[in-house]
Structure 1
């Protein structure tokens, strides 16, 4: 009888642990759904260096970023996202079809860019 009670207690304990884990996971999912990055909004500025042009970054609620790069009559749109940690860090390693890659932070409102052998810096301000 004692062995059966110990077994039942173990099964109940494991059941409560599993339920607790599921509840924690649901709470984390809700927090992510309700999260709004402090960098949400439209950011505009320019990039300079081996090429020059304008940058527009539209940051979504969850940190998704649409980047619009314009140089003369050329315009390119690509997508990336903010890195975690609250710094507004951007690294668009897989972003544009032309190979234009940006690195930096919306906290500092600036960074660097590369495109093949070309490179430079960028800066933006929030509208």
Structure 2
């Protein structure tokens, strides 16, 4: 007869795991909020970045004050200011950091720079 094996975890291990999970769920990125700015270069327009508390980003690019494109990306890690490489369905991408509030952009054959400011 084979005796069943029991795996026991210490109470402190269980509490540590619960605390770690709660920290992740309650974490708010220091970059969370609304950022507004412009992109300039061979083509120019306005940018709106809505950064969630977890670091996901909704990017809205406005061209000629009447054409909008929205796509989603994220910060490279929850605490990072670097924007993860991601391209919109139409081929627009931002490269840069919210720490410097700037970076470069690419769209098909065009490129340039961008900058944003966090809104209160």
> What's the TM-score, normalizing by structure 2?
0.83
Give the total of aligned pairs.
114
Q: How does 1:105-116 map to 2 (within 5 A)?
A: 105-116=97-108
Structure 2: how far apart are the matches of 1:55 and 1:108? 16
1:59 aligns with 2:51: yes
Contiguous gaps of at least 5 residues in structure 2: none
Task: State the alpha-carbon separation in 2 of the partners of residues 63 and 87 from structure 1.
Answer: 9
Q: Write out aligned runs for 1:1-127 (5 A).
A: 15-16=8-9, 20=13, 22-72=14-64, 73-84=66-77, 86-93=79-86, 95-127=87-119
Provide the aligned C-alpha RMSD in A.
Answer: 2.2
Report Cα offsets for 1:98-122 as digits up to 9, x if no partner. 1101111111000111112211110
- Greater per-residue helix proportion: 1
Structure number with greater Rg is: 1
* Unaligned ranges ≥5, structure 1: 1-10
The whole-number CA distance in structure 1 between the counterparts of 2:71 and 2:84 is 12
Measure, in 1, the Cα distance between the counterparts of 2:61 and 2:106: 13
